[in-house]
Homo-oligomer: A and B are copies of this chain.
Amino acid sequence: MSSGESRTGGDASGRSHAAGLAHRVPDLGALELLLAVARLGSLGGAARELGISQPAASSRVRSMERQLGVALVDRSPRGSRLTDAGALVTDWARRIVEAAEAFDAGAQALRDRRDSRLRVAASMTIAEYLLPGWLVALRAQRPDTAVSLHAGNSAVVAQRLLADEADLGFVEGVSVPAGLDSAVIAHDRLIVVTAPTHPWARRRRPLAARELAETPLILREKGSGTRQVLDAALGGLARPLIEVSSTTAVKAAAVGGAGPAVLSELALGEELAMRRLVRVPLDGVSLARDLRAVWPTGHQPAGPARHLLSLTRAQPRT
Protein backbone atom coordinates (compact mmCIF):
# COMPACT_ATOMS: atom_id res chain seq x y z
CA MET A 1 0.00 0.00 0.00
CA SER A 2 2.82 2.34 0.77
CA SER A 3 3.74 2.19 -2.88
CA GLY A 4 0.14 3.09 -3.66
CA GLU A 5 0.34 6.08 -1.37
CA SER A 6 3.50 7.40 -2.88
CA ARG A 7 1.98 7.25 -6.32
CA THR A 8 -1.23 8.98 -5.38
CA GLY A 9 0.49 12.30 -4.80
CA GLY A 10 1.56 12.50 -8.42
CA ASP A 11 -2.11 12.54 -9.31
CA ALA A 12 -1.93 10.22 -12.26
CA SER A 13 -0.38 12.45 -14.87
CA GLY A 14 -2.64 13.76 -17.59
CA ARG A 15 -5.45 11.41 -16.86
CA SER A 16 -6.23 12.96 -13.51
CA HIS A 17 -9.22 14.71 -14.99
CA ALA A 18 -10.90 11.60 -16.27
CA ALA A 19 -10.27 9.75 -13.06
CA GLY A 20 -13.00 11.31 -10.99
CA LEU A 21 -15.64 11.50 -13.68
CA ALA A 22 -18.07 9.49 -11.66
CA HIS A 23 -17.73 11.97 -8.82
CA ARG A 24 -18.46 14.96 -10.98
CA VAL A 25 -21.25 13.55 -13.10
CA PRO A 26 -24.55 12.53 -11.53
CA ASP A 27 -25.36 8.86 -11.84
CA LEU A 28 -27.78 7.52 -14.40
CA GLY A 29 -30.66 7.38 -11.97
CA ALA A 30 -30.31 11.07 -11.24
CA LEU A 31 -30.10 11.92 -14.93
CA GLU A 32 -33.19 9.92 -15.70
CA LEU A 33 -34.93 11.70 -12.91
CA LEU A 34 -33.91 15.04 -14.36
CA LEU A 35 -35.30 14.08 -17.75
CA ALA A 36 -38.54 13.03 -16.15
CA VAL A 37 -38.78 16.32 -14.28
CA ALA A 38 -38.17 18.19 -17.50
CA ARG A 39 -40.85 16.23 -19.28
CA LEU A 40 -43.47 16.27 -16.56
CA GLY A 41 -42.85 19.63 -14.95
CA SER A 42 -43.04 18.29 -11.45
CA LEU A 43 -40.73 16.57 -9.00
CA GLY A 44 -43.52 14.51 -7.53
CA GLY A 45 -44.72 13.45 -10.94
CA ALA A 46 -41.25 12.39 -11.94
CA ALA A 47 -40.91 10.49 -8.69
CA ARG A 48 -44.12 8.60 -9.40
CA GLU A 49 -43.00 7.75 -12.89
CA LEU A 50 -39.74 6.31 -11.62
CA GLY A 51 -41.44 4.51 -8.77
CA ILE A 52 -39.74 6.37 -5.94
CA SER A 53 -41.10 8.67 -3.27
CA GLN A 54 -41.42 12.40 -3.73
CA PRO A 55 -38.86 13.26 -1.02
CA ALA A 56 -36.39 10.93 -2.64
CA ALA A 57 -36.75 12.78 -5.92
CA SER A 58 -36.54 16.13 -4.22
CA SER A 59 -33.37 15.28 -2.38
CA ARG A 60 -31.81 13.65 -5.36
CA VAL A 61 -32.30 16.69 -7.54
CA ARG A 62 -31.00 18.87 -4.77
CA SER A 63 -27.86 16.84 -4.38
CA MET A 64 -27.38 16.92 -8.12
CA GLU A 65 -27.56 20.70 -8.00
CA ARG A 66 -25.06 20.74 -5.17
CA GLN A 67 -22.75 18.44 -7.09
CA LEU A 68 -22.88 20.54 -10.25
CA GLY A 69 -22.92 23.87 -8.46
CA VAL A 70 -25.79 25.06 -10.63
CA ALA A 71 -29.50 25.52 -9.96
CA LEU A 72 -31.35 23.20 -12.31
CA VAL A 73 -35.03 23.59 -11.49
CA ASP A 74 -37.21 26.42 -10.30
CA ARG A 75 -39.47 24.98 -7.65
CA SER A 76 -42.77 26.63 -7.06
CA PRO A 77 -45.79 25.57 -5.07
CA ARG A 78 -47.42 24.55 -8.31
CA GLY A 79 -44.70 22.71 -10.12
CA SER A 80 -41.07 22.78 -11.15
CA ARG A 81 -39.61 24.15 -14.32
CA LEU A 82 -36.07 23.90 -15.58
CA THR A 83 -33.84 26.93 -15.29
CA ASP A 84 -31.94 27.99 -18.40
CA ALA A 85 -28.88 26.16 -17.17
CA GLY A 86 -31.09 23.23 -16.26
CA ALA A 87 -32.38 22.99 -19.80
CA LEU A 88 -28.86 22.83 -21.15
CA VAL A 89 -27.79 20.29 -18.58
CA THR A 90 -30.83 18.22 -19.36
CA ASP A 91 -29.97 18.16 -23.03
CA TRP A 92 -26.46 17.01 -22.26
CA ALA A 93 -27.84 14.45 -19.84
CA ARG A 94 -30.05 13.07 -22.55
CA ARG A 95 -26.99 12.12 -24.57
CA ILE A 96 -25.68 10.09 -21.69
CA VAL A 97 -28.99 8.38 -21.17
CA GLU A 98 -29.29 7.57 -24.85
CA ALA A 99 -25.84 6.03 -24.82
CA ALA A 100 -26.90 4.06 -21.80
CA GLU A 101 -30.01 2.84 -23.59
CA ALA A 102 -27.89 1.61 -26.46
CA PHE A 103 -25.57 -0.08 -24.01
CA ASP A 104 -28.49 -1.73 -22.32
CA ALA A 105 -30.00 -2.97 -25.54
CA GLY A 106 -26.68 -4.39 -26.60
CA ALA A 107 -25.92 -5.98 -23.27
CA GLN A 108 -29.34 -7.59 -23.21
CA ALA A 109 -28.61 -9.16 -26.57
CA LEU A 110 -25.32 -10.55 -25.34
CA ARG A 111 -27.06 -12.11 -22.40
CA ASP A 112 -30.20 -13.50 -23.96
CA ARG A 113 -28.30 -16.08 -25.97
CA ARG A 114 -30.53 -18.95 -24.85
CA ASP A 115 -34.17 -18.51 -25.63
CA SER A 116 -34.09 -15.64 -28.03
CA ARG A 117 -36.44 -15.37 -30.93
CA LEU A 118 -34.02 -13.49 -33.11
CA ARG A 119 -30.39 -14.53 -33.28
CA VAL A 120 -28.08 -12.03 -34.92
CA ALA A 121 -24.49 -12.42 -36.00
CA ALA A 122 -22.61 -9.28 -36.94
CA SER A 123 -19.16 -8.08 -37.83
CA MET A 124 -17.37 -6.07 -35.20
CA THR A 125 -17.75 -2.63 -36.73
CA ILE A 126 -21.47 -3.06 -37.20
CA ALA A 127 -21.95 -4.57 -33.76
CA GLU A 128 -20.05 -1.71 -32.22
CA TYR A 129 -21.54 1.27 -33.94
CA LEU A 130 -24.82 0.44 -35.59
CA LEU A 131 -26.49 -2.49 -33.93
CA PRO A 132 -27.17 -0.98 -30.52
CA GLY A 133 -29.14 1.79 -32.16
CA TRP A 134 -31.17 -0.69 -34.17
CA LEU A 135 -31.85 -2.73 -31.09
CA VAL A 136 -33.11 0.31 -29.25
CA ALA A 137 -35.45 1.06 -32.12
CA LEU A 138 -36.57 -2.55 -32.30
CA ARG A 139 -37.28 -2.63 -28.61
CA ALA A 140 -39.28 0.55 -28.88
CA GLN A 141 -41.51 -1.04 -31.49
CA ARG A 142 -41.56 -4.66 -30.36
CA PRO A 143 -40.60 -4.66 -26.70
CA ASP A 144 -41.00 -8.40 -26.38
CA THR A 145 -38.56 -9.46 -29.07
CA ALA A 146 -35.65 -11.14 -27.34
CA VAL A 147 -32.54 -10.72 -29.45
CA SER A 148 -29.23 -12.44 -29.10
CA LEU A 149 -26.03 -11.18 -30.64
CA HIS A 150 -22.80 -12.81 -31.64
CA ALA A 151 -19.98 -10.74 -33.06
CA GLY A 152 -17.23 -12.03 -35.33
CA ASN A 153 -15.69 -11.55 -38.75
CA SER A 154 -17.41 -12.37 -42.03
CA ALA A 155 -16.39 -16.00 -41.96
CA VAL A 156 -17.82 -16.50 -38.52
CA VAL A 157 -21.05 -14.77 -39.44
CA ALA A 158 -21.45 -16.98 -42.50
CA GLN A 159 -20.72 -20.10 -40.53
CA ARG A 160 -23.27 -19.31 -37.86
CA LEU A 161 -25.94 -18.56 -40.42
CA LEU A 162 -25.30 -21.77 -42.31
CA ALA A 163 -25.26 -23.81 -39.12
CA ASP A 164 -28.62 -22.30 -38.21
CA GLU A 165 -27.14 -20.68 -35.16
CA ALA A 166 -28.21 -17.26 -36.37
CA ASP A 167 -31.23 -15.92 -38.23
CA LEU A 168 -29.74 -12.77 -39.62
CA GLY A 169 -26.22 -11.58 -40.20
CA PHE A 170 -24.43 -8.33 -40.96
CA VAL A 171 -21.11 -8.14 -42.76
CA GLU A 172 -18.86 -5.40 -44.00
CA GLY A 173 -16.45 -7.34 -46.16
CA VAL A 174 -15.85 -6.75 -49.81
CA SER A 175 -17.62 -9.88 -51.00
CA VAL A 176 -20.63 -11.86 -49.85
CA PRO A 177 -19.71 -15.28 -48.45
CA ALA A 178 -20.92 -18.24 -50.48
CA GLY A 179 -24.31 -19.64 -49.66
CA LEU A 180 -25.74 -16.35 -48.50
CA ASP A 181 -28.14 -13.85 -49.96
CA SER A 182 -27.67 -10.25 -49.08
CA ALA A 183 -29.07 -6.76 -49.17
CA VAL A 184 -27.11 -3.56 -48.92
CA ILE A 185 -28.21 -1.63 -45.88
CA ALA A 186 -25.74 1.21 -45.73
CA HIS A 187 -22.65 2.62 -47.27
CA ASP A 188 -19.40 3.04 -45.50
CA ARG A 189 -16.01 4.29 -46.49
CA LEU A 190 -12.57 3.78 -45.14
CA ILE A 191 -10.65 6.94 -44.60
CA VAL A 192 -7.07 7.79 -43.88
CA VAL A 193 -6.50 9.73 -40.69
CA THR A 194 -3.57 11.04 -38.72
CA ALA A 195 -2.98 12.98 -35.57
CA PRO A 196 -3.22 16.73 -36.24
CA THR A 197 0.53 16.96 -35.66
CA HIS A 198 1.42 14.57 -38.46
CA PRO A 199 2.78 16.15 -41.66
CA TRP A 200 -0.02 14.60 -43.70
CA ALA A 201 -2.53 16.55 -41.64
CA ARG A 202 -1.46 19.72 -43.38
CA ARG A 203 -1.39 18.28 -46.87
CA ARG A 204 -3.51 20.03 -49.38
CA ARG A 205 -2.82 17.75 -52.32
CA PRO A 206 -4.70 14.47 -52.04
CA LEU A 207 -2.71 11.39 -51.29
CA ALA A 208 -2.07 9.09 -54.24
CA ALA A 209 -2.77 5.40 -54.00
CA ARG A 210 0.89 4.56 -54.37
CA GLU A 211 1.93 6.79 -51.54
CA LEU A 212 -0.61 5.12 -49.33
CA ALA A 213 0.55 1.68 -50.34
CA GLU A 214 4.17 2.57 -49.67
CA THR A 215 3.62 4.07 -46.25
CA PRO A 216 3.49 1.85 -43.18
CA LEU A 217 0.05 2.20 -41.61
CA ILE A 218 -1.69 1.42 -38.37
CA LEU A 219 -4.08 -1.34 -39.34
CA ARG A 220 -6.53 -3.87 -38.10
CA GLU A 221 -5.38 -7.47 -38.27
CA LYS A 222 -5.54 -9.49 -41.46
CA GLY A 223 -8.95 -11.08 -41.84
CA SER A 224 -10.85 -8.10 -40.53
CA GLY A 225 -13.35 -6.52 -42.87
CA THR A 226 -11.50 -3.26 -42.80
CA ARG A 227 -8.22 -4.83 -43.79
CA GLN A 228 -9.79 -6.84 -46.59
CA VAL A 229 -11.21 -3.77 -48.22
CA LEU A 230 -7.97 -1.89 -47.99
CA ASP A 231 -5.90 -4.76 -49.32
CA ALA A 232 -8.30 -5.22 -52.20
CA ALA A 233 -8.21 -1.53 -53.08
CA LEU A 234 -4.43 -1.38 -52.99
CA GLY A 235 -3.88 -4.76 -54.55
CA GLY A 236 -2.78 -6.55 -51.39
CA LEU A 237 0.00 -4.15 -50.78
CA ALA A 238 -0.90 -2.43 -47.52
CA ARG A 239 2.16 -2.26 -45.31
CA PRO A 240 1.46 -2.51 -41.62
CA LEU A 241 3.31 -0.27 -39.21
CA ILE A 242 1.40 -1.70 -36.28
CA GLU A 243 -1.26 -4.38 -36.41
CA VAL A 244 -3.88 -4.42 -33.71
CA SER A 245 -7.09 -6.28 -33.14
CA SER A 246 -9.63 -3.60 -32.42
CA THR A 247 -10.82 -0.36 -33.90
CA THR A 248 -10.26 1.28 -30.57
CA ALA A 249 -6.62 0.28 -30.47
CA VAL A 250 -6.12 1.68 -33.97
CA LYS A 251 -7.60 4.98 -32.92
CA ALA A 252 -5.55 5.10 -29.76
CA ALA A 253 -2.35 4.51 -31.69
CA ALA A 254 -3.23 7.12 -34.29
CA VAL A 255 -4.21 9.73 -31.72
CA GLY A 256 -0.94 9.03 -29.97
CA GLY A 257 0.85 10.01 -33.13
CA ALA A 258 2.19 6.60 -34.05
CA GLY A 259 1.38 7.20 -37.69
CA PRO A 260 -1.41 7.27 -40.27
CA ALA A 261 -4.30 4.87 -39.85
CA VAL A 262 -7.07 3.57 -42.05
CA LEU A 263 -10.47 3.23 -40.47
CA SER A 264 -14.15 3.15 -41.20
CA GLU A 265 -15.72 6.57 -41.04
CA LEU A 266 -18.35 5.05 -38.82
CA ALA A 267 -15.76 4.71 -36.12
CA LEU A 268 -14.48 8.23 -36.40
CA GLY A 269 -17.34 10.58 -35.65
CA GLU A 270 -16.12 11.89 -32.34
CA GLU A 271 -12.46 11.93 -33.19
CA LEU A 272 -12.96 13.97 -36.32
CA ALA A 273 -15.39 16.38 -34.71
CA MET A 274 -13.01 17.06 -31.88
CA ARG A 275 -10.03 17.12 -34.20
CA ARG A 276 -8.17 14.49 -32.28
CA LEU A 277 -7.68 13.00 -35.72
CA VAL A 278 -7.83 14.65 -39.09
CA ARG A 279 -8.77 13.19 -42.37
CA VAL A 280 -6.24 12.93 -45.16
CA PRO A 281 -7.77 13.37 -48.60
CA LEU A 282 -7.19 10.48 -50.90
CA ASP A 283 -7.12 10.24 -54.64
CA GLY A 284 -7.48 7.45 -57.12
CA VAL A 285 -8.58 4.74 -54.72
CA SER A 286 -12.10 4.00 -53.74
CA LEU A 287 -12.33 2.73 -50.22
CA ALA A 288 -16.10 2.70 -50.26
CA ARG A 289 -17.72 -0.48 -49.14
CA ASP A 290 -21.23 -1.70 -48.64
CA LEU A 291 -22.57 -2.87 -45.36
CA ARG A 292 -24.84 -5.81 -45.98
CA ALA A 293 -27.43 -7.84 -44.21
CA VAL A 294 -27.02 -11.52 -45.06
CA TRP A 295 -29.03 -14.69 -44.67
CA PRO A 296 -28.87 -18.25 -45.95
CA THR A 297 -29.78 -18.44 -49.62
CA GLY A 298 -33.50 -18.93 -49.94
CA HIS A 299 -34.37 -18.23 -46.31
CA GLN A 300 -35.87 -14.78 -46.81
CA PRO A 301 -35.87 -13.13 -43.41
CA ALA A 302 -39.30 -13.30 -41.83
CA GLY A 303 -40.83 -12.35 -38.53
CA PRO A 304 -38.51 -10.54 -36.17
CA ALA A 305 -35.58 -10.82 -38.57
CA ARG A 306 -37.56 -9.10 -41.25
CA HIS A 307 -38.54 -6.40 -38.83
CA LEU A 308 -35.00 -5.71 -37.72
CA LEU A 309 -33.95 -5.62 -41.33
CA SER A 310 -36.56 -3.01 -42.10
CA LEU A 311 -35.08 -0.81 -39.39
CA THR A 312 -31.66 -0.89 -40.93
CA ARG A 313 -32.55 0.28 -44.38
CA ALA A 314 -31.77 3.59 -45.88
CA GLN A 315 -29.12 4.79 -43.54
CA PRO A 316 -29.14 8.41 -44.59
CA ARG A 317 -26.12 9.95 -46.19
CA THR A 318 -25.85 13.17 -44.24
A contact residues vs B (CB 8 Å cutoff): 4, 7-8, 12, 14-15, 17-19, 21-22, 24-25, 27-29, 32, 48-51, 68-70, 84-85, 87-104, 106-108, 110-111, 124, 127-128, 132-134, 136-137, 139-140, 143, 151-152, 246-248, 265, 269-270, 272-276, 279, 311, 314-316, 318
- Are A25 and B104 in contact, CB atoms less than 8 angstroms apart? yes
Residue among B85, B136, B269 making CB contact with A110, cutoff 8 Å: B85
Tell whether A88 pairs with B21 under 8 Å between CB atoms, given A102-B95, A103-B95, A248-B94.
no
Tell whether A29 pairs with B22 under 8 Å between CB atoms, given A88-B106, A110-B85.
yes
Cα(A12)–Cα(B265), bound, Å? 37
B-side contacts of A275, CB under 8 Å: 137, 311, 314
Measured CB to CB, the closest approach of chain B to A231, in angstroms, equals 23
- Are B21 and A104 in contact, CB atoms less than 8 angstroms apart? yes
B-side contacts of A68, CB under 8 Å: 107, 110-111
Tell whether A51 pairs with B18 under 8 Å between CB atoms, given A88-B127, A275-B137.
no
B-side contacts of A248, CB under 8 Å: 90-91, 94
B-side contacts of A134, CB under 8 Å: 274
Besides A21-B101, A88-B128, A89-B106, 14 other CB < 8 A contacts? Answer: A19-B32, A19-B49, A21-B32, A21-B104, A68-B110, A70-B107, A90-B248, A92-B107, A92-B128, A95-B102, A133-B274, A137-B275, A273-B316, A275-B314
Chain A to chain B contacts (Cβ below 8 Å), 5 pairs: A14-B143, A18-B97, A22-B32, A272-B316, A273-B315
Measured CB to CB, the closest approach of chain B to A106, in angstroms, equals 5
Residue among B8, B14, B96 making CB contact with A103, cutoff 8 Å: B96
Cα(A49)–Cα(B247), bound, Å? 23
- Are B19 and A50 in contact, CB atoms less than 8 angstroms apart? yes
